[in-house]
Structure 1
Amino acid sequence: MALGVRSCVSGKLTIKDMDFDVALEMINYMYCGRCDKIGELGADLLVAADKYSLPDLKLRCEKALISALNTENACDLLIMADTHSASRLKEKAIEFFVTHSSPITQTPGWQMILRQRPDLITEVVRSFVNPRAETEAMSS
């Protein structure tokens, strides 16, 4: 995390790609080990934890997002998990797809993932054919 000379001299740190609440929660976690708003900020915190190499925070976010996984957010969370190398979340999202495929294919997220991420659809389809082999391949 290179902050630059300007932030050291001014005593201010500007993070332009993150909402204030997310930055505050991330800093709170870094200094206090607490993450009080992980339920509401989990997705944004996962992105921040990945960007700033905070593996423990990232894992906590993955766990929170896994708990919140549903038919409406499954596609978004699968894309996020793949984009930010959140392997646990990705594995659970794919498992969720297998058990809830019918309602998921009726969501706007499904249409988006079909257009934008056919590679992820391939992974999901493979897990239908052989769920155990896909899970083992992802964890190795």
Structure 2
Amino acid sequence: MEEQQSNRVVITDVDHEVLQEMLQFIYTGESPNLAKMANHLFAAADKYALESLKALSEEALFYALSIETVAETLALAVMHSAEKLKEKTIEFFKNHSKDIVKTNEWKNLAKTNPIVLAEAFEALLTQNDNDQIMHDEKIEITK
């Protein structure tokens, strides 16, 4: 109601630069700073139901995925129910887990969000179990 009376909307839960970028996307369909703000835009787009911006941000997060960014990206994917991004991030984790677990970002994730960490390790263990089954089947076939 206050917005109607003052003809103003006050948004306090999004950083000024992120809000500015989000508004630019709403009005122009473009986000020139998407690559450097993808994580913040992804969260804001999810919060304000801007599905096209969320999809673009999700794609940018995936393409920027690295050993250093996987922990934050996985946490974002889980927090914002982005199953596709979560699957891709876990796949990346499975392929680079030995290096990822040594990073400060991953150690911080272990402290702040152990549930996300558990999901990643469960996927890794599942892969290892599947690899062992495939290996055992190959041995049976060659005998």
- Which region of structure 1 is more displaced relative to structure 2, 21-30 or 92-101? 21-30
Cα RMSD after superposing both structures: 1.7
Match of 2:35 in 1: 39
In terms of Rg, which structure is larger? 2
**Which of 67, 70, 83 is the equivalent residue of 2:66?**
70
Match of 1:119 in 2: 115
2:39 is the counterpart of 1:25: no
CA distance in 2, matches of 1:37, 1:73: 18
Deviation at 1:78, TM superposition (A): 0.7
- Which region of structure 1 is more displaced relative to structure 2, 112-121 or 69-78? 112-121
2:50 is the counterpart of 1:54: yes
CA distance in 2, matches of 1:123, 1:19: 30
Secondary structure at the aligned position of 1:69 is classed as coil
Match of 1:87 in 2: 83
Q: TM-score, normalised by structure 2?
A: 0.79
Residues 115 and 20 from structure 1, CA distance in 2 versus in 1: closer, same or farther, beyond 3 angstroms?
closer
Deviation at 1:62, TM superposition (A): 0.5
Deviation at 1:9, TM superposition (A): 4.2
Identity of aligned residues (%): 35
Match of 1:6 in 2: 2
Q: Which runs of 5+ in 1 are unaligned?
A: 132-140
Match of 1:109 in 2: 105
Q: TM-score, normalised by structure 1?
A: 0.81
Secondary structure at the aligned position of 1:96 is classed as helix
Q: After superposition, give the CA deviation of every residue in 1:3-29 in whole Å (9 maximum; x if it has no partner).
A: xx4334444332111122211211222
Secondary structure at the aligned position of 2:102 is classed as coil
Match of 1:130 in 2: 126
Deviation at 1:116, TM superposition (A): 2.7
Identify the structure with the greater helix proportion.
Answer: 2
- Which region of structure 1 is more displaced relative to structure 2, 69-78 or 19-28? 19-28
